[in-house]
Amino acid sequence: VTLTDRFAALGIDNAPGQQATGAAAESPATVSIPSGPAVDFSHGDVEAFTPTPGALDAFLAAFHAGATQAYSEYRGHAAVREPLAERISEFVGMPVNPAEQIIITPGTQAALFLALSSLIGTGDKVAVVEPDYFANRKIVKYLEAELLPVGLTYLDTDRPAELDLDQLRDALVAGARVVVFSNPNNPTGVVYGEGQVRRIAELANEFDAYVVADQLYSRLIYPGTAYTHLVAGGIRPERCVTVLGPSKTESLSGFRTGVAVAPADVIKRMEKLLAIVSLRTAGYNQSVLNVWLNEPEGWLAQRIADHQAIRDDLVGVFAAADGFRVRPTEGGSYVFPHVPELTVPMPEFIRVLREHAHVIVTPGTEFGPHHGAGIRLNFSQDRARAVDAAHRIIATAKEFSR
Q: What is the nearest approach in angstroms of a second copy to the Cβ of residue 43?
A: 5
Q: What share of the chain is helix, strand, coil (3-state, %, to 5)?
A: 40, 15, 45
With binding defined as CB under 8 A, does residue 186 bind a second copy? no
Parallel, antiparallel, or unpaired for β 240-244 and 359-360?
unpaired
Among 85, 282, 390, 394, binds a second copy (CB under 8 A): 282
Residues 30-89 that bind a second copy (CB under 8 A): 43, 45-47, 50, 56, 60, 62-63, 66-67, 69-74, 78
228 vs 247, beta carbon nearer a second copy: 247
What long-range pairs does 1-6 form, CB within 8 A, spacing at least 24? 1/144, 6/141, 6/142, 6/144
As measured in angstroms, the least distance from the Cβ of 74 to a second copy is 6
Counting contacts by CB under 8 A, is residue 344 touching a second copy?
no
Contact, 96 vs 237, CB < 8 A? no
The secondary structure of 149-191, three-state, reads EEEEECCCCCCCCEECHHHHHHHHHCCCCEEEEECCCCCCCCC
Binding flag, residue 279, a second copy (CB under 8 A) = yes
> What is the DSSP code (8-state) at residue 81?
H
Least gap, CB of 280 to a second copy (angstroms): 7
Q: Which stretch binds a second copy (CB under 8 A): 106-114, 213-221, 302-310, 348-356?
A: 106-114
Name the amino acid, one letter, at 324. Answer: F
The CA–CA distances, whole Å, from 32 to 312, 343, 345, 394, 397 equal 28, 14, 17, 12, 11
Among 31, 83, 97, 138, binds a second copy (CB under 8 A): 138
* Pair type for strands 375-378 and 362-363: antiparallel
What backbone torsions phi and psi does residue 69 show, to the nearest 5 degrees? -105, -20
Site string for a second copy, 6-35 (x = CB under 8 A): xx--xxx--x-xx--x--------------
Query: Looking at beta carbons only, is 178 or 213 nearer to a second copy?
Result: 178
Least gap, CB of 332 to a second copy (angstroms): 17
Least distance from C-beta 6 to a second copy, angstroms? 8
Rg (CA), the chain: 21
List the interface residues with a second copy, window 188-247 (CB under 8 A): none
Rounded Cα–Cα distance for residues 185 and 187 (Å): 6
Gap between the Cα atoms of 105 and 91, Å rounded? 19
Q: By CB under 8 A, which span of 253-261, 289-297, 327-335, 384-392 interacts with a second copy?
A: 253-261
Helices assigned H by DSSP within 278-382: 299-319, 346-355
Q: Which is nearer to a second copy, 222 or 334 (CB)?
A: 334
Tell which one of 104, 126, 127, 139 touches a second copy (CB under 8 A): 139
List the end-to-end C-alpha distance of the chain, in Å, as a whole number. Answer: 42
Phi, psi for 349 (deg, rounded to 5)? -60, -45
Backbone conformation region of residue 243, classed left if phi is above 0, alpha if psi is from -120 to 50, else beta: beta
Q: How far is the CB of 34 from a second copy (least distance, A)?
A: 23
**Mode of pairing for the β-strands spanning 178-182 and 210-214:** parallel
**In terms of CB distance, is 67 or 226 closer to a second copy?**
67
Q: Which of 142, 198, 202, 348 binds a second copy (CB under 8 A)?
A: 142
Per rule CB under 8 A, count of chain residues that contact a second copy = 64
In the complex, least distance from residue 359 CB atom to a second copy, rounded to whole angstroms: 16
Instruction: Point out which residues bind a second copy (CB under 8 A).
Output: 2-3, 6-7, 10-12, 15, 17-18, 21, 43, 45-47, 50, 56, 60, 62-63, 66-67, 69-74, 78, 105-107, 109-110, 113, 118-122, 135, 138-139, 142, 251, 253-256, 269, 271-273, 275-285
